[in-house]
Amino acid sequence: MKMGGSTQLQRVIGYFHGTIFLFSIIIGAGIFVAPKGVLKYSSLNVGVSLSIWAACAVVSTMAALSHAELGTTFPRSGAQYYFLKRSLGPFIAFFYLWINLFSTPAGIAARGLLLAGYITQPFYPGCFVPEMPKKCLALAILWCLGILNARGVKEVTWFQTVSTVVKMTVLCFVSVTGLVLVVRGRKENLDRFEKAFDGEVPNASQIAEAFLQGLYAYSGWGVLVRIAGELKNPSETIPKCVITALTLVALIYLLVNVSYIAVLTPREIISSDLILLINYVGFTDWIQLGLMMTGLLKLRYQEPHLSRPYKVRLPFVFGTIAVSLFLVLTPVIKSPQMHHIYVLLFILSGLLFYLPFVHFNLGSTYFNKITCFLQLLLNVSPADDTDEYISTEETLQKNPPETPAKKE
């Protein structure tokens, strides 16, 4: 849309559609695989596992409300990158893009493999699915989704609506089945809850790993900040949507986990591929979130008069930073694994690209030509005059235009 001679997105998403959109993004494949990882790292302790699921809901809500300040202060698409560049500098902003360049495809790959595994499992009863057919089917699914996204927004919206209905139908069926078994009071189902905390208690490192697994199922709550430029009144819409959607998601997840435990033994639940891949994604996600919260505090100090239509309470910000440090540092210090080293080496490898191509600006002419070519090929363009647009919004909020008096 053209506004004042510049390209800007239309603000067409309100509270209802924002809540439905956020709900459908969070409710994904994670709930079908994350319970396995949570139970594994909870030392098969049912009570600890359910407690971690409830705590993950609280942590996700706290982090989402803290994160919402970014989208309301800078109400535009891609707010995270702009915010990090403004608060912590281009170096940190580059690493945010560098991590997302690989962590986002890794998350999509995990979901594709999970879906392919569930589809092919009935053809291999009583044994594990071979890797080759599962990977080929996952690749085919990703290609189909890519083609669907390229066709337009209407097709994507239709597909998202249908897939959300299917997922909710499955989750409701699982929840009702498990609750019926619990209510009927069969001894083998109730014993797992009566002795919920009798198992081995996990150590701090295992609890951190369990949280990473559980929080993976809640991931996606930051999507509204990414599309803040398309939301009506972001300062009110984002916090309301976050609280409503995460409350519903937390209730469904707890019911589903109760049903899992009522039907299956803990050892039957924990059989999975994918647990390690979820750890990779969660580890990098919480590094980024910790940096964003640090930048939020720094910007509060550096620019105290910056227009902030929604200001999160500082205990939420400090709490999110504390959780980030716990989830990232505890496994590395207490029980370091090779995949932690791989992740850190991958993050630092971004220096090989940042120093020559960003800091020293080598080959900028060629990269500009490539960027222009891709924008023309894919028919995409960033919004114009970002700084000027935000400054104009701040001025309008402080000094709204006067309404001309009606002539008698």
The rounded distance, in Å, linking the Cα atoms of 309 and 359 is 34
Residue at 380 is within a domain: no
- Identity (one letter) of the amino acid at 171? L
- Region 11-24 average pLDDT: 80
**pLDDT of 202 strictly over 50:** yes
**pLDDT of 194 strictly over 80:** no
Domain with residue 126: its CATH number is: 1.20.1740.10
Higher pLDDT, 259 or 161: 259
> Could you tell me the pLDDT band of residue 389, with boundaries at 50, 70 and 90?
very low
Highest mean pLDDT among 196-200, 350-354, 366-370: 350-354
Predicted local confidence at residue 290, as pLDDT = 92
Residue at 184 is within a domain: yes
Higher pLDDT, 348 or 272: 348
Predicted local confidence at residue 181, as pLDDT = 74
> Whole domain around residue 271: which residue ranges?
10-333
Residues 66-77 pLDDT 10s: 988 887 888 776
**pLDDT of 42 strictly over 50:** yes
- Region 393-404 average pLDDT: 48
Higher pLDDT, 291 or 359: 291
The rounded distance, in Å, linking the Cα atoms of 212 and 200 is 20
Residue at 346 is within a domain: no
| pTM for the full predicted model | 0.78
**pLDDT of 403 strictly over 80:** no
Highest mean pLDDT among 15-24, 192-201, 312-321, 345-354: 312-321
Residues 222-278 pLDDT 10s: 887 777 767 778 778 888 888 898 998 898 888 888 887 777 666 666 665 767 777
Residues 280-291 pLDDT 10s: 778 888 988 999
Asked whether the beta carbons of 259 and 178 are under 8 A apart, the reply is: yes
How many domains does the chain contain in total? 1
What average pLDDT is seen over the chain? 79
Query: 20-29, 184-193, 219-228: which has the minimum mean pLDDT?
Result: 184-193
Asked whether the beta carbons of 229 and 216 are under 8 A apart, the reply is: no
**pLDDT of 105 strictly over 70:** yes
Predicted local confidence at residue 391, as pLDDT = 44
- Region 388-405 average pLDDT: 47
Residues 133-147 pLDDT 10s: 888 998 998 888 888
Q: Which residues are CB-contacts of 192 (< 8 A; sequence separation ≥ 6)?
A: 46, 261, 262, 265, 266
Residue at 228 is within a domain: yes
Residue at 382 is within a domain: no
Residue at 352 is within a domain: no
Residue at 3 is within a domain: no
Residue at 349 is within a domain: no
Predicted local confidence at residue 309, as pLDDT = 83
